[in-house]
Amino acid sequence: MNVAVFGAAGWVGRAVLANFAGRHTVRAFDRSPQAWDKYDELDGAWDGEKRYGDMADFDAVDAAIEGCDGVVHLAAYFGYENTPEYDTQPFLVNVKGLWNVLESARRRGVTRVVHMGSCMVEHPAGLFFNAEVRSPEGTLYGISKRLQEEMCRQFHDAFQSRIIVFRPCSIVDSRLKVNRDFSPAGDPAGTGWVCRHDLAEGCHLALENESVDFAVLHTAGNPAAEAHCNVRLSKELLGLEYRGQL
């Protein structure tokens, strides 16, 4: 399958590129050549097709999707350290950027979009997280991720776009036992972690899946997470096996 991967140079993106090698033909999109520098030492150089641009620029996003059968959307702006009232990037990258992806994919008849969302695993009120229970986050990043999820729902409802949304929490590399900032991975008893390589395999399985038109799936590597969220569905619907261990 010809696949456009947005946010390809990032923490999950690099795992996706490794996973897709020999399985999919990838067009990698990120903001600049410098975006690759952060994980080159960890993951090595990647020599496939690369495109650069602003996620908020529809023409740049649309050009990257041209000729593709599937899309994996991983691009995200965190901005935790910035003052929210002065920071427009979460809206431009996370919200406008995803709209660009979904609208371009719709116009071009892309058969599958995979979107990497975000969600806590344990609800603070003790509710079980199914696809209909939203995460009660109030940060600018958290709210923009909720808006992303609703946008995916709306594109499916309005246009029958075939979309699978993943809801990871803390994304680690269980093979190297590190977080995305290279710090040691957290407490193995925690329920919120998932290995980036398992997420990459999930992206592959979601692209290949022909029976699911729309789904919102929690992803977590700790078996204890099944008591708190619908992670079991990722196993049942996609056949995803969580191989990462902390």
- Taking 70 as the pLDDT cut, the residues of the chain under it are 80-86, 187-189
CA gap 187, 39 in Å, rounded: 23
| pTM (predicted TM-score) | 0.96
Token pair of 233 as six digits:
């569905």
CA gap 157, 49 in Å, rounded: 33
- Count of domains for the chain: 1
CA gap 46, 154 in Å, rounded: 35
Residue 36 domain-assigned?
yes
Residue with tokens 């093979």: 175
Residue 183 domain-assigned?
yes
pLDDT of 128 reads 98
Task: List beta partners, residue 116.
Answer: 166
Coil, strand, or helix at residue 48? coil
Residue 245 domain-assigned?
no
What is the side-by-side order of every strand in the sheet holding 178-179? 178-179, 170-173, 193-195
pLDDT of 82 reads 58
Domain that holds residue 60: 2-238
Q: What is the mean pLDDT of the chain?
A: 95
φ/ψ of residue 213, rounded to 5: -85, -40
Residue 124 domain-assigned?
yes
Residue 243 domain-assigned?
no
CATH of residue 45's domain is: 3.40.50.720
pLDDT of 111 reads 95
Residue 23 domain-assigned?
yes
Residue 246 domain-assigned?
no
Residue 173 domain-assigned?
yes
